[in-house]
Amino acid sequence: MAELRFSALKEVFNREPVVTHAPDKNVSKYFGIDVFNLHKMEHYLSMDAFKVVKRAIEEGKSLTRREADQVAIGLKAWALERGATHFTHWFHPLTDGTAEKHDGFIEFGDNGHLVENFSGEVLVQSEPDASSFPSGGIRNTFEARGYTAWDVSSPVFIVGTTLCIPTIFVSYTGEALDYKAPLLKSLSALDKAAVDICQYFDKDVTKVIATLGVEQEYFLVDEALYYARPDLVLAERTLMGHQSSKDQQLADHYFGSIPERVMCFIKDFECEAHKLGIPVKTRHNEVAPNQFECAPMFEEVNLAVDHNQLLMDIMKRVARKHKFRVLFHEKPFAGINGSGKHNNWSMATNTGVNLLSPGKNPKTNLQFLTFLVNVIKAVNDSNELIRASVMNESNSWRLGGHEAPPAIISVFLGTYLSNTLNEIARKVTDKKMTPAQKTELKLGIGKIPEILLDNTDRNRTSPFAFTGNRFEFRAVGSSANCSAAMITLNSAVASQLSKFKKEVDNLIRKGHNKDEAIFQVLKKTILDSEKVLFEGDNYSPEWHAEAAKRGLSNIASVPESISRYLTANSREVLVGSGIFTDKELESRVEVEYEKFTKKVQIESRVLADLAINHIVPTGIKYMSSLLENLRGLKEAFPPKDYEKLGESSREAIMVISEHINGIKKLVFDMVEERKKANVIENAFDKAVAYERNVKPYLDDIRYHIDKLELIVDDEIWPLPKYRELLFTR
């Protein structure tokens, strides 16, 4: 068995960097070459069709059949010119991956000849069988058929020879079965609520978009070593492996020079991404060995999410060419940093203003503070919902670890803004303000520096940190589709902004002037959300105690966290604003429970197989060689010397057999627990049983295996070790 490990290592030692040549041009020359963007539409579509699509994009509308037909003509011409042979509706089912079913352009023409055809009908709508996608019960009560419908706001693109049409995915009866449909709804709710608030400050604002820049962390493992680790192949994380003597202690990987083989891979996938219009810009080594990060420039949220999903696909595909495997799992290796996907989020107006960026004068700063405070209040009120949107099995290994945001969702602002908010809360009175008071306040907020970005003031431990002109939501897992987090955040902020507006309008109606009304509601809103603000070290035990004292929610259990999608507040935010129906929300929660259960189940099975089929036999084999050694000693030495000489072998045999027995017993018990959990009908109860009664065995069994790894002869250890997975490349 150990042969596989050693031949894999040999393969890695002999690897050469795979040099692929990016087009011999500046990126701007080929950026977006495979995307049917506005620029190409202008060229390939009739004037009428172009105008129609442009308006549909701007207004978030869909096209009529006739309009779609016109668009299809131009799109087909472009696609055939680029060598496309197939098309697909590309969508985001609730699996964290993307889905596609390819259809050829070919059809029989009137006289039996084969022709390339592509109509408006297939562009705007398709009917894939929905029955094998997670639906959380919706498919049981309704027909299995699902519809995909073109999302005009995200451009069509070509991968290889396939034309990909971004679509939403809904059931026959209209329930969303994907992430995109509710994401679009949440963005339009936010647009409306934010425009209403902007109207207090600037009548020219008619549209607000949310913006997202995704920092994507990942690990690379050599392909040969990956295949020698069935746990990586099947569970996407190592379920065993003793810590390497050296890993990230010296912090010598972070921002270090990127190894050549890795660099070739990065350049290659960046080039592919650029051709698809994904503006990847930043690359660097991360903290853990073999961990890296890439980040594109921010874009409108829906587009940024599509691009992140596509980017992960590209990275997986390109990695194979370079004999790597990309690990997006949140915690592929125990004991060292895991991977996150920091969601940098803000809002921008059609007038070019970033609503979370301080302005140059009191008026723009009052607008900035209004949005800032409302986001904080939204995170305060929807605290549990926000955690629910990022909690899942794989991220649970990371959240609460020493390098990752804890399961307590708090907001970091930095000293300057904390003080500013404090001042507003203190200085604004409930009575009518005197002109002097107003001037003082306005002068105060007028001084907020335009660039708040101060590196000394950055808190890397906060799950939700203000970073100068945006919030960085850091609790999102590296493998996740960001939609879940974005749907929640957009909806929570939209709902809060609407409440804010109601309160301000109320005061105005009672005779306060606008600014004063805004100040007063701001004051109240700040006071109502103080418990969520935290400037200290989120990793410290003191914070846990402090959060408990403040009554801030802290839930480490995954099913418990997920269940918070269904609280009264969550329903108000998500159902009240029309993002989901009750049924959609409940079914989504069901899907999450099931996903959790299945993932633990898979890990438990894989670990049991490896423990019994790989590890126990290896331990026994080593014991046999020790026994052989003892027999030899006994023959060669007189009893007095033998006693002494055989001591270490005898001791090792005892220890090994203890671990082997430990493994066997624990595996047996774990399987029994699984059997009990498997007969539970209710999805929540089942997930809880898996979490409480099965999941702990993963660590318990691993403990014995990792101890054995240290004792057993390296020559016969079957699985690549941490030091090999992390340091060989």
Least distance to ligand ADP from the beta carbon of 458, Å? 8
**Does residue 709 interact with Mg ion by CB under 5 A?**
no
* Partner interacting with residue 608 (select from ligand ADP, Mg ion, none; CB below 5-8 Å by kind): none
**Does residue 659 interact with ligand ADP by CB under 6 A?**
no
Q: Which residue among 100, 151, 215, 560 contacts ligand ADP (CB under 6 A)? A: 215
Residue closer to ligand ADP, measured from CB, 205 or 212: 212
Provide φ and ψ at 284, rounded to 5°: -165, 165
* Partner interacting with residue 150 (select from ligand ADP, Mg ion, none; CB below 5-8 Å by kind): none
Q: What's the CA dihedral at 254, 392, 265, 281 to 10 degrees?
A: -70
**Does residue 272 interact with Mg ion by CB under 5 A?**
no
C-alpha distances in angstroms, 621 versus 180, 629, 635, 655, 663?
Answer: 53, 13, 21, 14, 16
Contacting ligand ADP within 352-371 (CB under 6 A): 354
Residue 279 DSSP label: -
Least distance to Mg ion from the beta carbon of 215, Å? 4
Q: How many residues bind Mg ion (CB under 5 A)?
A: 1
Distance CA 356, CA 348 (A): 8
Task: Spell out, one character per residue from 265 to 304, where the chain touches ligand ADP: x when CB under 6 A holds, - when not.
Answer: -----------------x------------xxxx------
* Partner interacting with residue 470 (select from Mg ion, ligand ADP, none; CB below 5-8 Å by kind): ligand ADP
Task: Count Cβ atoms within 10 A of the Cβ of residue 398 and give its class: 0-12 exposed, 13-18 middle, 19 or more buried.
Answer: buried
Q: How many residues bind ligand ADP (CB under 6 A)?
A: 15
Least distance to ligand ADP from the beta carbon of 500, Å? 21
Provide φ and ψ at 412, rounded to 5°: -105, 135
Least distance to ligand ADP from the beta carbon of 340, Å? 11
Which residue in the shown chain puts its C-beta closest to Mg ion? 215
Distance CA 60, CA 657 (A): 66
Least distance to ligand ADP from the beta carbon of 407, Å? 22
Q: Which residue among 213, 358, 362, 646 contacts ligand ADP (CB under 6 A)? A: 213
For residue 655, give both structure tokens. 């220890």
Distance CA 354, CA 211 (A): 9
Least distance to ligand ADP from the beta carbon of 215, Å? 5
* Partner interacting with residue 469 (select from Mg ion, ligand ADP, none; CB below 5-8 Å by kind): ligand ADP
For residue 679, give both structure tokens. 């007969």
* Partner interacting with residue 212 (select from Mg ion, ligand ADP, none; CB below 5-8 Å by kind): ligand ADP
Nearest to 181 by CA among 141, 120, 130: 130
Question: Which ranges constitute the DSSP H helices of 116-217?
Answer: 120-124, 138-141, 180-198
**Does residue 216 interact with ligand ADP by CB under 6 A?**
no
Distance CA 476, CA 466 (A): 16
**Does residue 151 interact with Mg ion by CB under 5 A?**
no
Least distance to ligand ADP from the beta carbon of 298, Å? 3
Task: Spell out, one character per residue from 201 to 220, where the chain touches Mg ion: x when CB under 5 A holds, - when not.
Answer: --------------x-----
Q: Which residue among 154, 211, 382, 520 contacts ligand ADP (CB under 6 A)? A: 211
Stretch that binds ligand ADP, among 206-214, 417-425, 505-513, 588-596 (CB under 6 A): 206-214
Residue 273 near residue 182, CB atoms below 8 Å: no
For residue 487, give both structure tokens. 């749907």
Residue 504 near residue 410, CB atoms below 8 Å: no
For residue 370, give both structure tokens. 């209004």
Distance CA 114, CA 339 (A): 50
**Does residue 346 interact with ligand ADP by CB under 6 A?**
yes
Residue 611 DSSP label: I
Residue 487 near residue 345, CB atoms below 8 Å: no
* Partner interacting with residue 298 (select from ligand ADP, Mg ion, none; CB below 5-8 Å by kind): ligand ADP
Q: Which residue among 9, 72, 84, 212 contacts ligand ADP (CB under 6 A)? A: 212
Least distance to Mg ion from the beta carbon of 294, Å? 9
Which residue in the shown chain puts its C-beta closest to ligand ADP? 213
For residue 289, give both structure tokens. 């060995």
C-alpha distances in angstroms, 628 versus 35, 623, 653?
Answer: 67, 9, 12
Distance CA 368, CA 363 (A): 9
Distance CA 333, CA 708 (A): 18
Beta partners for residue 346, in sequence order:
211
* Partner interacting with residue 213 (select from Mg ion, ligand ADP, none; CB below 5-8 Å by kind): ligand ADP
Site residues, Mg ion (CB under 5 A):
215
Q: Which residues bind ligand ADP (CB under 6 A)?
A: 211-213, 215, 282, 295-298, 344-346, 354, 469-470
